[in-house]
Structure 1
């Protein structure tokens, strides 16, 4: 995706001056604001990376807990 020319970005930013903007860490943060001005697409790579890491970490945690449960159950049955 190609960035808009600097003049267009500055003009769009100046049109926002004085407006009250909603804020959300996950859907309307400063990176969303800037990427929309620069590329015309509201996106935050930081938020996407956190979501991905959270999903992967959750999957690893779930696998570890399942393994622990299987080991614990197996030990109980062998006693």
Structure 2
């Protein structure tokens, strides 16, 4: 494939992308794609964070709160 054909195809793709980004629906679609990818990537991490939060909640419920000593009277 000649270099001029590759550059022409690349320029055409860039022009198409720039035109699409001027439309609100393209931004809506891009937002949905990014959020979906974040959910798919973060879902295993969120599961571990939920277990850690559950453990911390049980620990704080079980542990007795220490009250600081009262300040000395002058």
Q: TM-score range with shorter-chain normalisation?
A: 0.3 to 0.5
Give the TM-score normalised by structure 2: 0.34
Bigger relative contact order (CA 8 A; separation at least 6): 1
Is the helix fraction higher in 1 or 2? 2
Larger Rg: 2
